[in-house]
Structure 1
Amino acid sequence: MDDQSEQTLPPPTLPKDLRISLMGFQDQKFAQTFGEHLCSTLAACSRVLDLERLAGVTVGYDLASAIASVDMGEPDVSPPSFTSTAEVRCIAKAVTVKRDGIEKTHVVYSAAFIEDIVDDELPGFQQALHLIAHELGHVAELKWRDESAPGFDEKLKDGMFADNLFLHTATAVWEEYAACRLTGFIGDVEALKQEYAKNFDESAGLYLGRAREKIKDYRAHQSVRTLLLEAGQHTAMPLKLASYLLGHLDANQDETDLKVLCPTYDDSGLTELIPRFWTALRSTWNRMDDKAGLAVFDELKQVVIESYVNAGVNITPQGEDFFVNAPFTAETMPNGEADMVEVRALQALGLL
């Protein structure tokens, strides 16, 4: 980068007291080289992302140990757990911590996935570059959201269970959309697009059957809270994976038809919900500076509710809470149509 290009960029926002920890590096020479390139990458990203609230960076070959090492900044608060599934593999995590009463982000990376950052000729360089930038996107998003819609933690402590669950899901999908939209131009743009499309498309084909299995379980346990939690894990998954793809497309002003990009999605029962979801994400992006508070997530919360309805769980506002029920259908009964014969008989007799 020449001096003239350097002058056209915004000033760096990397905290001067930033601490970087490397764990599990056996080759000290490589560790030093890696650390130098990581610092350069962080500094470069800090010119296009607001990293004022970056509390620290940890890189380790054992991701679980690296996350466990993070100082949460509050007594009796443990670092978050993480899960990796066949659909979503955790290779980095943005951990929210407290420093002097302010929420900040400590970023943790799996070393194996970003070690190629030491040489732009290595095959994994573009992936490493984007992974580093994406997690830093969460740092910028946290500050933006916290200044525009404060009070999230307080709301979760005081609000109703169902409303809090919907809000939590809405903010989770928003965070990924925002991080991808902020950093989608960094790295191999086309490879990222194909990866995000593949992940979303696979989830679109799986979510409905999995959510209905949880509704079948509800017939036995009759716990609405359990139903919302367990079915919600599956109804939220395509939203979360779509948020990566949609944020990436918007970052690059890519207008590719989703039905062409994701053929399974075209036959998934989501083709009405996802466009509304995309509109809500864009609306939240455009309104985040309006200082509307947590109401900025209302559109996304409604889409989250609709995702339950799409799977067979009806959710109706009832005062400050919600009425939740799962109508009897062959798809959500343990024995399918055989159970529905009995249900119809009981309904005809007025016993159900």
Structure 2
Amino acid sequence: MIALVHEIGRYIDISTLDGITIAVGYDAALRELDRGIEGMRPEERTNDEGLIGVGKAVVVKREEEIKTHIVLLADLVCVLALTEDERNMEDFRVALAIVAHECAHVEENAARERQFPGTLLDQTPAGYVRLLERQFAEAFWCEYAVCRISARVSRGTRNSASERT
């Protein structure tokens, strides 16, 4: 994983990467991740009609700096540890695309923090409609931007990383 992320870092800015957790207990790893701010709601996996999360880039605060910590489901990335003869290349490409996608969130989060300081971890209460508007606008923009950023690394996969994250 270290070698892969280092290589991805040649194409995607991962300078604000806090770390990567590869977890068999993915849901527990998300819930237990130290976000760096007391009282923050624990992260949860996407799990709804047709979308089941296997990787997530979580914004955290370390000292006074905003960073991104990636949590990956171990089942998904174990193919990366296999030799070329042992691995299914389609599974390998999908794992690569998802890791690149999550690394692209690191770059996108850093860019948003530079442009709009303090908004990534903003917990200011807002009305229900305003909160939903912000949540949807950020999700659509972030996923669009991240797919564009990671496209160079993810080319050649049948299933896009955004369909699995």
TM-score w.r.t. the length of structure 2 is 0.84
CA offsets 1:284-329 (integer angstroms, 9 cap, x no match):
xxxxxxxxxxxxxxxxxxxxxxxxxxxxxxxxxxxxxxxxxxxxxx
Classify 1:182/1:154 alpha carbon distance in 2 versus 1 (closer, same or farther; 3 Å): closer
Report percent identity of matched pairs: 26
Residues 79-158 of structure 1: matches in 2 within 5 Å?
Answer: 79-118=42-81, 119-121=83-85, 122-123=87-88, 124-152=91-119, 157=124
Whether the 8 Å contact between 1:156 and 1:164 is mirrored in structure 2 is no
> Partners in 2 of 1:120 and 1:182 — Cα distance?
27
2:147 equivalent to 1:180:
yes
Q: Secondary structure at the match of 2:13?
A: coil
Residues 249-264 of structure 1: matches in 2 within 5 Å?
Answer: none
Q: Which has the higher contact order (CA 8 A, sep 6+)?
A: 2
2:126 equivalent to 1:163:
no
Whether the 8 Å contact between 1:127 and 1:188 is mirrored in structure 2 is no
Q: Could you say which residue in structure 1 is the equivalent of 2:34?
A: 71
- 4+ residue stretches of structure 1 with deviation over 6 A? none
> Partners in 2 of 1:160 and 1:76 — Cα distance?
20
Q: Secondary structure at the match of 2:6?
A: helix
Residues 172-211 of structure 1: matches in 2 within 5 Å?
Answer: 172-192=139-159
**Residue 105 of structure 1 aligns to which amino acid in structure 2?**
T
Q: Which has the larger radius of gyration?
A: 1
Q: Could you say which residue in structure 2 is the equivalent of 1:344?
A: none
CA offsets 1:82-123 (integer angstroms, 9 cap, x no match):
231231011111111111122211100001111111234511
**Residue 52 of structure 2 aligns to which amino acid in structure 1?**
R
The alignment of Structure 1 onto Structure 2 pairs a total of residues equal to 161
Q: Provide the alpha-carbon RMSD of the alignment.
A: 2.5
Residues 5-84 of structure 1: matches in 2 within 5 Å?
Answer: 38-84=1-47
> Partners in 2 of 1:112 and 1:76 — Cα distance?
30
- Greater share of residues in strand: 2
- Greater share of residues in helix: 1
CA offsets 1:151-199 (integer angstroms, 9 cap, x no match):
4258761654423321221011111111111112323535035x86xx6
Gaps of 5+ in 2: none
**Residue 15 of structure 2 aligns to which amino acid in structure 1?**
E
CA offsets 1:240-290 (integer angstroms, 9 cap, x no match):
x9xx9xxxxxxxxxxxxxxxxxxxxxxxxxxxxxxxxxxxxxxxxxxxxxx
